[in-house]
Chain A
């Protein structure tokens, strides 16, 4: 073959080789089909572990109650609010139990916390209707709910 045909051919070959070389260095070695199908399981394998290592933030009421706050726990567990996790009202407990000065938890005394469940929406037949409801625009508007109701034991009899 003549030179003027070969020269561009070499250029093309070199270009393709360069792409393969770049691919070799850029694509992680664990990239591939990790399962039955190319369509759904083509990925970097170590990413699965990366997700598993993501930090857990909600620890569960057991941690709060068993370790330190048995008093709050007992009163809550005996009340109509027993079904609510501590962390739903106090925020995630991550970092809290381990710290020397555990001030990290939030104490949310806002009305907004309570009316998530207690604002009366008037939807008969729903589970919402089974929760005692109030109209937030009428029920003691100027005060926080917890000034009158104990969030850990909201029983009206014991007010």
Chain B
């Protein structure tokens, strides 16, 4: 086969154009899918944690485990509370015994006694799934068993999950774990069964001090949205680009 310079160049251009066409250009959407793709869902769930109000009682953890049938005595939990004690020599001590299921009842941190006069600052930080806008855990799922709902909550399909554990490794916040009973990945879903019925998440409901709040970020008049818009809030590990939807008041730079 002979090939002139002209045909070679022509074909090269054609080839480049073809190669740069996205695969999605060849994907046909059903009318329902197309409608769903353009339609704007009305709700986007977001969470607000006020660390300055948290006393570390762990009622949230207890309620979460019972509400969501997470094995109570297993060392796994959907939400947990961390205690930070920063000493005057600028060392940071962190613990969360059993995820703070029974609260913090002892001054010792990991068996270490810290004298009150050595403490520069101490505080509690509740953690839960951030329901990221760009969830790394969803991207890595090889079977489509975890996904983002249209109102922004990341769910796990227990029937479809094969338990490979990629998502558990991918989450920068460590919120995922292996469910000891169902043998699938598990994590907080803002109590999807409660919020879709107009109730608060179990942890929000249980917190006596108002340290946890859930709201609709698309509703400008929602108290949670108001705080996030008008006050100084922070998110965890912003640098990962996951766009977390759990916002914190009073977050310290020592919090990891």
Q: Which residues of A contact B (CB under 8 A)?
A: 31-36, 38-44, 47-48, 51-58, 60, 83-85, 87-88, 91-92, 112, 115-117, 119, 121-123, 125-128, 131, 136
Contacts and interface: CB of A to CB of B under 8 A. Distances in A.
Contact of A88 (B56, B59, B189): B59
Interface in B75-119: 85, 102-107, 116, 119
A34 B55 contact: no
Nearest to B60: A88
A57 B147 contact: no
7 contacts: A44-B157, A54-B192, A92-B63, A116-B102, A121-B107, A125-B122, A128-B124
Nearest to B41: A35
Contacts of A112: 102, 105
Interface residues of B, number: 59
A123 B209 contact: no
Which 8 residue pairs spanning A and B have beta carbons closest together? Answer: A116-B103, A43-B147, A54-B193, A123-B122, A128-B55, A83-B208, A119-B105, A47-B157
Interface string B149-161: 1100001010110
B52 interface: yes
A85 B212 CA distance: 14
A33 B148 CA distance: 11
B232 interface: no
Contact of A41 (B122, B148, B157): B148
Interface string B193-206: 11011010010011
B155 A127 contact: no
Contacts of A55: 193
Contacts of A131: 55
Contacts of A88: 59, 62-63, 206, 208
Contacts of B11: none
Contact of A125 (B57, B63, B121, B211): B121
Given A47-B159, A116-B58, A122 B205 contact: no
B196 A36 contact: no
Contacts, number: 140
Nearest to A131: B55
Contact of B103 (A34, A115, A123, A125): A115
B12 interface: no
A117 B103 contact: yes
Contacts of B59: 84, 88, 116
Given A48-B155, A83-B208, A126 B147 contact: no
Interface in B194-232: 194, 196-197, 199, 202, 205-206, 208-209, 211
A63 to B, nearest CB: 12
Contact of B54 (A42, A54, A58, A127): A127
Nearest to B205: A58
Nearest to A82: B208
A122 B124 contact: no
B36 interface: yes
Interface stretch (B2-10, B138-146, B162-170, B171-179): B138-146
Given A44-B160, A119-B106, A122-B107, A51 B147 contact: no
Contact of A85 (B53, B55, B107, B205): B205
B147 A41 contact: yes
Contact of A92 (B67, B119, B122): B67
Contacts of A122: 107, 116, 119
Contacts of B149: 35, 48
B45 interface: no
Contacts of A126: 52, 55, 122-124
